[in-house]
Amino acid sequence: MNFDYFIIAMIWIVSIITLLIVVPRSRIREYMAVFFFFQSLTRIFGIVLTAFGALSSEVRLFERATKISFTSEFMFYPTMAVVFHRWYPDQGGKLRVVLHYVVFTGVIILYMYLLATFTRIMRVDAQQLIRFFFNFVFEFWTCRRYVLWLMGTTKLQAYHGVGGSEEWK
């Protein structure tokens, strides 16, 4: 069991260091929106999938509070969403965008598979991983649309002087 908690601690440390390295100071608000929106998406899907028995966690940080993996749902997946959004190929073609989705979703599926295979942090079978692949593609797409909408709105408000231009910088 100590190995599992060591892995959880390493996930937190690596995620925090990744966020500090990847997020530029000038775009902190944008990436906070990505992080928190993806947290809410994974929270909703995590609760539903746990309720239907598709996902379970034996080793959790808050065993009495929730049956989902707090570390995965609230730190690792949102960190992956920030990295996904940071290097999204805006100028690339459709193939490059599809590959971007496949690679980042594949990294999450590999993470889930490794945790399920070598630790007791997560329990999931191979058939469920295929469903989770499409679930995360949907979550990445939804998060991307939301942040584009949100950032487009704030830039428009700053341009037109609504709320003061200093507020949106």
Residue written as token pair 């809410």: 40
d(CA 85, CA 162): 27
pLDDT, tens digit only, all 169 positions of the chain = 588 889 888 999 999 999 999 999 988 999 999 999 999 998 888 778 777 766 666 666 656 656 667 788 889 999 999 999 999 988 878 999 999 999 999 999 999 899 888 888 777 777 788 888 999 999 999 999 999 888 885 554 444 444 444 444 4
Give the whole-angstrom CA distance, residue 117 versus residue 125.
9
Give the type of residue at 38.
F
- Global pTM reads 0.82
Buried b (16+ CB within 10 A) or exposed e, 53-74: ebbbbebbeeeeebebbbbbbb
Q: What are phi and psi of 23, to 5 degrees?
A: -85, 120
Query: How confident is the model at residue 54, as a pLDDT?
Result: 64
What is the pLDDT at residue 138? 95
| Domains of the chain by residue range | 30-152
Q: How far apart are CA 49 and CA 32, in angstroms?
A: 25
Beta bridge mates, 163: none
The residue among 164, 21, 155 whose CA lies nearest residue 87 is: 21
Residue 124: predicted pLDDT: 78
- Of 132, 83, 95, 141, the closest CA to residue 110 belongs to 132
